[in-house]
Amino acid sequence: MVADIGFGSLIITLIVSIYGIGAAVTGEVEKKKAYILSAQQAMRLVFPLLTISIISLLYLMVSDQFEVAYVSEVSSRSMPVYLKVTALWGGQAGSLLFWSWLLAGFTSAVTLRKWDRDQDLIPWVIAVSLATLAFFIVLNVFFENPFNRIWQTPGGFVTAFSRPSGGIQIFPSDGSGLNALLRHPGMIIHPPMQYLGFVSFTIPYAFAMASLIKGRTDDRWIRITRPWTLWAWLFLSMGLILGARWAYDVLGWGGYWGWDPVEIAALMPWLSGTAYLHAVLIQEKRGMFKQLTMVLIILTHNLVMIGTFLTRTGFLSSVHSFAQSTIGPIFLAFIALTLISSLGLLIYRWNTLKSRQEMTSFFSKEALIIIAVVLLLGMLVTSFWGVMFPKISELVTGQKVTVGPPFYERVAAPILGGLLIIMVICPLAVWSYASFKHLGRLLWKPFIVSLAGIALPLYAGMTLWPAVIAFWLVAFVMAVNANEFIRRTRIRRKDQKESWWSAFIKVFKRNRRAYSAMIIHIGVVMMALGIIGIEFFQSETQGTIPEGGSLNLASYTMVFEKLDVFDTPDARNVARAVVTVNKDGKVIDELNPRRDFYYDSGQPMTIPGVRSTLVDDFYVILVDWKVVSAEGATFKVYHNPLVKWLWIGAWVFILGVVVATWPDKKTKLVPANSRISVRT
């Protein structure tokens, strides 16, 4: 009964979505406002309808209804309730439903605001948004139905929603359980953040398409969608960061990023989205590069779809990807239709988007931003080629060539260096015109301070010149941003006779957008510090040692004390080692690396023991063990300098994006007959 309700609600949602598309287009073409209002109501209705489907599936999983195929695949009786809820996005069918539900939430929220000034855009925003939603619902209804039941037929077991000929429904006593790798806390939060980032980019894309359809060349659609875009970027960034943390904590290889194809599939829309966010600044301030802005939002939306296609159709092999699926052809057709229609519309309006403004200085803010955009797109092209090349080589030569991390790192390292240089100069540059002499007057003090970024590594014995240059650039960016905070606060304090704190707060409030960008950049360079540490100075060792034996790495000594092997109430077999970490002859920490084996899914999961400080991480993995033999256990140990700054920088980065996105109390809705321009 519950499965019938969930699936029925899916069908109704699909019908309502198709109706909303038709009503919106008809209302716009025939200029009938009642149809457009009806389409808005339809757009508001899809979220509660899909909520019924979501609640139905959650009930089936929490109540252990294993006759439903999806529940049997991703859940089990031994799993706690919070993991059964997490299993909603632990498999293909459930994650697609979850995706549709989030997208419905965003599209419904769009209609809640008064659109007096932008009535001409709304019909097409509704049509584009609901068309995207309808496609994903079609995937659930016809290809990946999460409410399918398990049936036994003369020809074997099948999964279907309704009874097949001669079929008898079976009721398994238990399910297979969630993939062991997905039971980490990071994976409970990571997929929702990733999905939120993906689906929310649909909103600025829909407004961009509506603007092109109506032939509007102003930047109103950018101002409307700025909060949506920033939140999308925030969620996508958090998804990448949480995924990196999950890899560091669970995959057991001592790193946070392996240039896995699925990791890159999520990175690509982030790169284009970051480029888009910077390009729109130029369009808003100078009215330039309108064509580029449109290209970037179209690219970002389609990269979201391409990334989803790559991970959900079995096209890529990865620990992150879903199994082989039948949705590949229809998904590819949808991507082609979206891309061709978007680019066709852009080409049709291309000449109307030309700017009358011209670049006047190589050192102007807009010039520096464009350089940053080019660097980001360079990394994007490299990433896309690296993902696709193995498939292309297999198609052309019959041999699959693997593209490993060195390929990406050779490109990523100089691009990161170039972006750090832009972060040094851009905060001090001005719009339209800037001279090298002007920048030099502002840069000399931070430059002197930044020399500590060279002196300190050399003093510590780090003589690898690429690393020393990287440390210097990090120090330079930090010095420039700190100096800019201090300089502007000092000017305000001198002019207004205020205290340092009062002057700082008021300067920040009056320039919140600029300062939030500085906070984001500070977060980036702190993350860069962690990347430099682990990429240039990571060391490792491995050995099999008996109880009481030791391994040495860097300035640490690890002593294996004992190993406990036991079963847990939640159907796990746990092998947990106790090791002590010694430095300078003193015990400084006790770690418990372990290996968990889940009986329901038949899968192991590695949990490292980590001692983390601002200076370094001592990272221990239990590789193998002998319970009876005197050989003891095998450990792999990593020394990861400065990696904690990667996670600290991530929090600073997120703080900066939240500050940039936070609503302005002074923002007001303007009546339709008003000509006053407001910030949205």
Helix (H, G, I), strand (E, B) or coil at 459: helix
Assess contact for 308 and 195: CB atoms under 8 A. Answer: no
Residue with tokens 């200029």: 31
* CA–CA dist 96, 146 (Å, integer): 9
Are 476 and 423 contacting, i.e. CB atoms less than 8 angstroms apart? no
What's the predicted TM-score (pTM) here? 0.90
| Upper half-sphere CA count for residue 336 (Cβ side, 13 Å) | 6
CA–CA distance, 345 with 331 (Å, rounded to integer):
21
CA–CA distance, 527 with 519 (Å, rounded to integer): 12
Structure tokens at 85: 């809820």
Q: How far apart are CA 343 and CA 339, in angstroms?
A: 6
Q: What is the pLDDT of residue 671?
A: 40
CA distances from 67 to 93, 168, 173, 325 (A): 15, 11, 9, 21
Residue 315: closest CA among 329, 333, 303: 329
Cβ distance 530 to 642 under 8 Å? yes
Residue type, 120: D
Residue 76, sorted as left (phi over 0), alpha (psi -120 to 50) or beta, turns out to be: beta
Residue 389 is predicted with a pLDDT of 87
CA 451, 452, 455 angle in degrees (round to 5)?
A: 95
- Closest by CA position to 213, among listed 68, 25, 70: 25
d(CA 151, CA 163): 7
pLDDT at 553: 94
Q: What angle do CA 469, 470, 475 make, to 5 degrees?
A: 95
Distance of CA 363 to the CA centre of its chain: 32
* HSE value, Cβ hemisphere, 13 Å, CA-based, for 672: 7
3 state DSSP class of 389? helix
Alpha carbons 621 and 623: distance in angstroms, whole number: 6
Q: Enumerate residue ranges in the chain where pLDDT < 70.
A: 314, 316-325, 434, 627-630, 664-680
Rounded Cα distance, 615 and 531, in Å: 13
- The DSSP line for 267-333 is HHHHHHHHHHHHHHHHHHHH---HHHHHHHHHHHHHHHHHHHHHHHSS-S--SSS----TTHHHHHH
Q: Which of 253, 244, 259 is nearest to 407 (CA)?
A: 259
Could you tell me where the DSSP H helices lie in 398-464?
Answer: 405-425, 436-450, 452-459
Task: Give residue 306's pLDDT.
Answer: 92
The DSSP bridge partners found for residue 149 are 68, 160
d(CA 577, CA 229): 46
Q: What is the DSSP letter of 91?
A: S
Q: Rounded to whole angstroms, how far apart are CA atoms 70 and 192?
A: 19
